């Protein structure tokens, strides 16, 4: 019953030029308990090629035997399966086993039965993906051929689909991996590995080449330079070399043609893939493929290439990001991150002895920026960077650590003030016209004493800070003690915060008296802090901390309110006319809302403003002339009085002092302490008192400890006094009794 149709189909299939798949056999498994059927089938199909594939036959005589055969043999294309064997439905059960339990979806199954009346349920055919169902006597040689051909064709298709699905999965995974690469080098190497995996070939014959960026200016029309960016196997030694150095004309030619034609080249013995890059520096990968690539593989490579173009862009983006994290754009120096990594590298490799990290910090850079503009500031930074790089670029690592701070890492003999200062002592030429004189503060940390790059920078910047406390243009080296001191201060600041929050601060009051009569005139409020352990921490220690951290503003508002409340209570208890002196720190005084906060405290406590005195140190009063004058005027307008604390320790200009609305000068206790020890102490005190008289200001001496000091002060005409001789600072509860005893 052979039909011409059948023959035509065969002829077509055989000559199909489409599939260039390498020659492969197809396995046919015959499962039947009848030996004759085995023989007839092999005889009918023997020597034939189906779709260009020679056939191989496997034989099983029971379902069980078939199971174990299937477990051992891969790639069985077609199973010719008898339905009735050990049992009525042994064949169908085997199908279920294959599809369900073994999860074999690719083999095509042709069911055969000897009993014409016996047909399996349609649903079984559908559910178990059975290719064909025939009664044995229907299966003439031709029919069998047709049926097996159809089965093999669909087997091939299923395999292809499977392969491309897996290939696509590979591509997705490969792209993901490639995206993560930073640096084109790694990216190119990745492409090679991925292609090799994709095609299941070794990376031996793979080369990746890229056109090199040529300077955009005026080099149009030049032959692009092509460089090997990645290679494996016998070409591995050529990475970073020019393409011309590859001795194989075949490889060289394919890559060149691929890049110049900007297209994938799929030739008989080689493949060159083109990876376009937006930058114009395209890639090409050469695959030395002995056998022709299958259609599937070609298709996969196309998909891969277009995916890779996206990856390449991402890689460039990553590289740029990397650049940004490691290179400061403004001054073209490595960044803090890069600097820290460089230090960490030293530490990891154990090369720390004899190395030092230096930080160079420009003094008053913020002011320079504000005064001359940011363009000018940038030019200063660039100038510093150039100086440092020019002088030390070869021997040291230089980086921009932050806004106006530069880092130098190098041998200790080079990284020290004597070597660095001269580099920046000559003025910088800004914008070709202005000469800018720099002042710099520096801090140093020895690498042998740090555990990480972060540590080194932290320590060196502590040293800078310490140097700054001495004024601009200084330097310091980090030491254990500095570290300890800083840690202690940090700890103390934390405790102070907590103490303030939990209201563990309190106020002590020290009487101020009439120097002639000893009668109480008022009190100075002094802050007290007793820590968890019950120890008193002197204000000289915690007030500076509070000032540095800004905590002083809150603390200042609190003590003002507490002290005025105390004053109010005293007045209610009958002690009227007393004043309350409150210390004002620089930070408070400079705060914008300071005047408002004083006004609010007065309003809320209901004390007469005239009974409130603010003690401002001489250094604050002399700082920013115009601003201080305006502020003091505003405070005076509230009705409060102003005393200059620690007077005599600063260098007040007399004419300036005269302009300020000051009520009282408070003679610093250092002069009072020396008043009895020879002429010097007495003379200064005498001058201060004379000055007060001349400027029409009241005078108070602080730190009066004995009667001799008091008598000398009286003799010099000092009106008021305060000191241990009269009373030590006392708790609010003790004031009443003291007033009672001393009035
Ligand atoms: P100050 O304003 O000069 O305060 C006077 C200091 O002299 C107080 O020290 C006081 O206890 C001490 N003193 C008083 N009489 C004598 C004496 O006869 N002999 C000696 N040797 N010392 C005497 P204290 O309380 O330790 O305060 C130290 C400094 O802390 C104060 O110096 C002031 O600058 C600052 N301070 C204290 N409380 C506050 C505050 O509430 N706010 C601000 N901003 N600073 C405060
Ligand atoms: Ca004071
Ligand atoms: Ca004082």
Q: Which of 48-62, 178-192, 276-290, 488-502 shows the lowest per-residue confidence on average (mean pLDDT)?
A: 178-192
The per-residue pLDDT for 142 is 82
The CB density around residue 128, as the number of other CB atoms within 10 Å, is: 18
Q: In which band, very low, low, confident or very high, does the pLDDT at 606 lie, cut at 50, 70 and 90?
A: very high
Q: Rounded distance, CA 339 to CA 345, Å?
A: 10
Ligand 1 proximity of 547 Cβ (cutoff 6 Å): no
**How is 252-311 classified by DSSP, letter by letter?**
HHHHHHHHHHTS-EE-SS-EEEEE--TTS--EEEEE--SSPPPHHHHHHHHHHHHHHHHH
Give the CA-trace dihedral at 32, 38, 44, 48, to 10 degrees.
Answer: 100
Chain mean pLDDT for the chain = 84
Going by CA atoms, what residue is nearest to atom 42 of ligand 1?
Answer: 583
Cα torsion 95, 98, 101, 105: sign = negative
Return the pLDDT at 84. 85
Of 145-149, 422-426, 488-492, 652-656, least confident by mean pLDDT is: 652-656
Between CA 497 and CA 487 the distance in angstroms is 15
**Mutation to probe ligand 1, out of 500, 506, 539, 708 (largest number of atoms < 8 A from CB):** 539
Cβ–ligand 1 distance for 729 under 6 Å, the answer yes
pLDDT at 306: 63
What pLDDT is recorded for position 86?
Answer: 85
Q: Please name which of 452, 450, 451, 424 lies closest in space to residue 438, comparing C-alpha atoms.
A: 424
pLDDT of res. 219: 45
Quick one: CA torsion of 684, 686, 692, 698, rounded to 10 degrees? 110
pLDDT at 264: 79
Which CATH number among 3.90.1200.10, 3.40.50.720, 3.20.20.70, 3.20.20.450 corresponds to the domain 502-742? 3.20.20.450
Alpha helices in 470-538 (DSSP H): 480-501
pLDDT over 70 (residue 201): no
- pLDDT greater at residue 700 or residue 12: 700
Identify the CATH number of the domain defined by range 198-328.
3.30.450.40
351 neighbors 411 (Cβ within 8 angstroms): no
Kindly report which listed range (258-262, 282-286, 327-331, 504-508) carries the lowest average pLDDT score: 282-286
DSSP calls for 23-66:
P--EEEEEE-S-HHHHHHHHHHHTT-EETTEEEEEEEESSHHHH
Nearest Cα residue to atom 13 of ligand 1 = 703
Contacts of 587 (CB under 8 A, 6+ apart): 547, 550, 552, 553
Domains of the chain, residue spans:
1-164, 198-328, 329-478, 502-742
- Give the tokens for residue 368: 């320079």
Q: What is the reported pLDDT for 680?
A: 75
Report strand pairing: 26-31 vs 53-60: parallel
Q: Does 351 or 207 have the greater pLDDT score?
A: 351
Per this entry, what is the length of the chain?
A: 743
Domain range 1-164, its CATH number among 3.40.50.720, 3.40.50.80, 2.30.30.60, 3.40.50.2300: 3.40.50.2300
Q: Which CATH superfamily is domain 329-478 in?
A: Reverse transcriptase/Diguanylate cyclase domain (3.30.70.270)
Contact present, 184 and 315 (Cβ < 8 Å): yes
Return the sign of the alpha-carbon dihedral for residues 693, 695, 698, 704. Answer: negative
Nearest ligand to the C-alpha atom of residue 729: 1
**Per mean pLDDT, which range of 205-209, 440-444, 716-720 is the poorest?**
205-209
Q: Is the pLDDT of residue 48 over 70?
A: yes
Residue 293 is predicted with a pLDDT of 63
| pLDDT band (50, 70, 90) for residue 176 | low
Q: What is the mean pLDDT of residues 200-208?
A: 63
Quick check: pTM over 0.75?
no
Q: What pairing do the DSSP bridges indicate for beta strands 283-287 and 271-275?
A: antiparallel
List the alpha helices (DSSP H) in 223-262: 249-261
Band of the pLDDT at 408, cuts 50, 70, 90?
very high
Residue 60 in this model has a pLDDT that exceeds 50: yes
The mean pLDDT value for 150-177 works out to 72
Q: In this predicted structure, what is the pLDDT of residue 119?
A: 61
Name the most confidently modeled range: 15-24, 231-240, 558-567, 586-595: 558-567
Q: What per-residue string of b and e applies to 171-193 under the rule 16 or more CB within 10 Å gives b?
A: beebbeebbebbebbebbbbbbb
Give 65's pLDDT tier (boundaries 50, 70, 90).
Answer: very high
- Assess whether the C-beta atom of 705 lies below 6 angstroms from ligand 1: yes
Whether the pLDDT of residue 205 is over 70: the answer is no
- Exposure b/e, 309-326, CB count within 10 A at least 16 = b: eebbebbbebeeeeeeee
Note the Cα 420 to chain centre separation in Å.
30
Per-chain residues with Cβ under 5 A from ion ligand 2:
583, 615, 645
pLDDT at 187: 66
Residue 526 CA: nearest ligand 1 atom is 38
- pLDDT above 60: residue 11: no
């Amino acid at each position: 019953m052979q039909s011409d149709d059948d023959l035509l189909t065969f002829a077509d299939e055989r000559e199909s030029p489409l599939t260039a798949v390498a020659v492969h056999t197809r396995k046919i498994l015959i499962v039947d308990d009848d030996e004759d059927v085995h023989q007839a089938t092999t005889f009918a199909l023997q020597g034939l090629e189906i779709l260009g594939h020679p056939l191989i036959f496997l034989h099983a005589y029971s379902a069980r035997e078939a199971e174990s055969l299937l477990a051992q043999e891969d790639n069985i294309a077609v199973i010719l399966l008898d339905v009735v064997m050990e049992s009525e439905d042994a064949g169908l059960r085997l199908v279920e086993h294959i599809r369900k339990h073994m999860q074999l979806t690719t083999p095509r199954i042709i069911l055969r039965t000897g009993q014409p009346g016996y047909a399996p349920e349609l649903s079984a055919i559908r559910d178990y993906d059975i290719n064909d169902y025939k009664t044995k006597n229907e299966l003439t040689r031709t029919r069998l051929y047709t049926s097996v051909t159809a089965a093999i064709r669909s087997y091939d298709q299923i395999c292809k689909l499977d392969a491309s699905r897996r290939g696509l999965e590979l591509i997705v995974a490969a792209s993901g991996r490639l995206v993560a690469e930073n640096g084109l080098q790694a990216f190119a190497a990745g492409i090679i590995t991925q292609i090799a995996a994709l095609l299941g070939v070794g990376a031996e014959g793979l080369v990746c080449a890229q056109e090199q960026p040529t300077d955009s200016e005026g080099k149009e029309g030049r032959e692009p330079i092509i460089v090997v960016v990645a290679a494996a196997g016998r070409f591995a030694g050529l990475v970073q070399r020019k393409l011309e150095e590859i001795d194989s004309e075949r490889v060289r030619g394919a890559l060149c043609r691929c890049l110049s034609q900007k297209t994938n080249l799929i030739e008989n013995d080689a493949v060159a893939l083109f990876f376009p890059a937006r930058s114009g520096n395209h890639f090409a990968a050469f695959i030395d493929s002995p056998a022709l690539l299958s259609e599937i593989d070609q298709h996969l490579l196309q998909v891969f290439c277009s995916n890779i173009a996206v990856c390449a862009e991402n890689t460039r983006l990553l590289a740029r990001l990397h650049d940004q994290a490691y290179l400061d754009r403004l001054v073209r120096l490595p960044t803090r991150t890069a600097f820290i990594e460089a230090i960490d590298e030293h530490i990891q490799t154990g090369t720390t002895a004899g190395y030092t990290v230096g930080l160079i910090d420009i003094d008053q850079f913020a002011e320079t920026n504000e005064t001359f503009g940011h363009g000018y500031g940038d030019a200063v930074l660039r100038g510093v960077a150039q100086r440092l790089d020019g002088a030390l670029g070869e021997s040291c690592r230089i980086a921009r650590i932050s806004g106006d701070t530069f880092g130098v890492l190098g041998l200790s003999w080079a990284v020290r003030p004597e070597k660095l200062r001269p580099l920046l002592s000559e003025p910088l030429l800004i914008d070709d016209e202005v000469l800018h004189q720099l002042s710099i503060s520096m801090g140093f940390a020895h690498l042998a004493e740090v555990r990480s790059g972060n540590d080194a920078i932290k320590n060196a910047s502590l040293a800078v800070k310490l140097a700054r406390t001495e004024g601009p243009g200084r330097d310091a080296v980090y030491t254990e003690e500095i570290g300890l001191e800083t840690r202690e201060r940090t700890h103390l600041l934390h405790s102070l915060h907590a103490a303030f929050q939990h209201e563990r601060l309190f106020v002590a009051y020290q009487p101020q008296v009439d120097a002639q009569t000893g009668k109480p005139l008022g009190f100075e409020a002094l802050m007290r802090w007793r820590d968890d352990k019950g120890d008193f921490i002197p204000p000289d220690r915690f007030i500076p901390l509070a000032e540095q951290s800004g905590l002083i503003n809150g603390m200042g508002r609190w003590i003002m309110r507490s002290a005025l409340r105390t004053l109010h209570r005293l007045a209610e208890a009958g002690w009227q006319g007393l004043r309350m002196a409150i210390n004002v720190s620089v930070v408070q005084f400079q705060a914008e809302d300071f005047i408002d906060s004083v006004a609010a405290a007065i309003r809320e406590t209901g004390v007469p403003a005239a009974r409130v005195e603010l003690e401002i140190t001489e250094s604050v009063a002399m700082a920013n002339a115009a601003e201080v004058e305006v502020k003091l005027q505003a405070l005076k307008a509230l009705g409060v009085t102003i005393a200059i604390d620690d007077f005599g320790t600063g260098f007040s200009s007399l004419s300036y002092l005269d302009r300020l609305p000051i009520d009282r000068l408070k003679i610093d206790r250092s002069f009072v302490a020396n008043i009895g020890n020879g002429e010097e102490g007495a003379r200064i005190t005498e001058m201060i008192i004379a000055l007060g008289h001349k400027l029409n200001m009241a005078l108070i001496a602080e730190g009066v400890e004995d009667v001799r000091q008091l008598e000398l002060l009286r003799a010099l005409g000092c009106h008021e006094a305060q000191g241990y001789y009269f009373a030590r600072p006392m708790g609010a509860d003790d004031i009443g009794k003291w007033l009672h005893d001393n009035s």
